[in-house]
Amino acid sequence: MKKYNLIFSIITAATIVLSTGGCKQGFLEGYDVDPNNPVNVSPDLILTTSEVATATVYGGDYARYSDMWMQHQAGTDRQFSSIGQYVITESDVDNTWRFNAYGGGMIDLYTLIQEETENGNFAYVGVAKILMAANLGLLTDGFGDIPYSQAFQGADDISPAFDSQESIYNAILDLLTTAHTDLDADSPLSPGDDDIVFGGDVDLWHGSANALKARYLLHLANRTNDYAAVLAAIDAGGIADNSGDMQVPFGDLVNEQNLWFQFYEQRSGYLSMGAFLIDLMNDLSDPRLPAYATLNDGGIYNGAEPGEAFTSEFSVIGLFYGSANSPIPIITYAEQKFIEAEAAFETGDDARAASAHNEGVAASLDKVGVTDAAYIAANGSETAGTISLEKIMEQKYIALFTQFESWTDYRRTGFPAITPAAGQVPLRFPYPSSERLYNGSNVPAGGTISSALWWDVD
């Protein structure tokens, strides 16, 4: 049995434990306590559930929508055909916001930070801060202004204000900075097997915190032009290699399966591989293609253009990202190397940019288990004289298949040079219907899909 095969079984078992009281209590003792809503939950149970919930934010609807808009994949049936052509509604983004993010992992992480700070279990606090930063980062990059400073208060405040994206970014960077102090502090209780990402390995969490910091500082560089800060975050000690990738594992049993696998199993035909990605990889003779996609009925790799209806002529997601036990990545070594390459290029250090780019290409190939000397020679052997931003972003785009971050990269840089499906590629998601209905007075005006985010400036 794999180490983390029982992810969701752990969560189910935790629910059962928390809903059964001791039989030695007096007959009426505790009659006023709802066993389905325990007041106190041990940090090991909260951590596991919050890591799984974070994976649902990174590998669920928001990843599917952004993947279609970046033409990694194409919507080929029902509402996914419309969403792939930028027809998206407030209800399309509501479930992930309500049940996986704010009502799922983020409220658990908020609780973990508050309670374990009081209890002195700072190792849990540090991990929770990193996970909270990752959730906030994806949400603000999807929506712009979002609730945070007044969120997570339950009935005490059911109409939280929306914080500006600038303040959310400040909060993200603060969480990632203070997480290092917490991880290094004395902690009576520390994560172990309940940490399904790193098994309680503090060094790996430090690396992920620095990698995430570099990611979000890179987003801000459109405003600050501070690419040196991005490099400093990496130089402080980022992800060392592919074994340090921050990703959430899944398993083969029905209640453990990867989200992409579940979607393709339950919504066959809704998604196909995107023509832009498939054509690009075919043109480059990219050895990752068999890991990314299946052969179609004609024995070739073929993608759908936005708006095309599903047929057996189209490839679908391959086994590396689309198997039942495929992990969901949050941030990877390959992404970090491309972040480094872009930041170095923008500071004029072309030699470092070329080296980091080449290491990113090699890391991406290694991650999917392929080697190809000819491909590396043609696409992963840049020099200070040949490296360019377009080359960096094109290889990053391929490496980040299925990942939300590609949409952010496109909005920041304009690469890769896709042809929009209809008009302009959306610049943000619409705000969820539940916020419009129940917190409408606080929902920011002008949050349409054609409205640029705060950091999205020339």
Model confidence at 10: pLDDT above 60 = no
The per-residue pLDDT for 155 is 82
Report pLDDT digits (tens) over 299-339.
999 999 999 999 999 999 999 999 999 999 999 999 999 99
Hey, what domains does the chain have and what are their CATH numbers? 8-13+39-256+326-428 (1.25.40.390)
Per residue in 118-134, pLDDT tens? Answer: 999 999 999 999 999 99
What is the reported pTM? 0.93
How does residue 41 score in pLDDT terms, banded at 50, 70 and 90? Answer: confident
Q: Which two tokens stand for residue 29?
A: 């003792």
The predicted structure's pLDDT at residue 12: 38
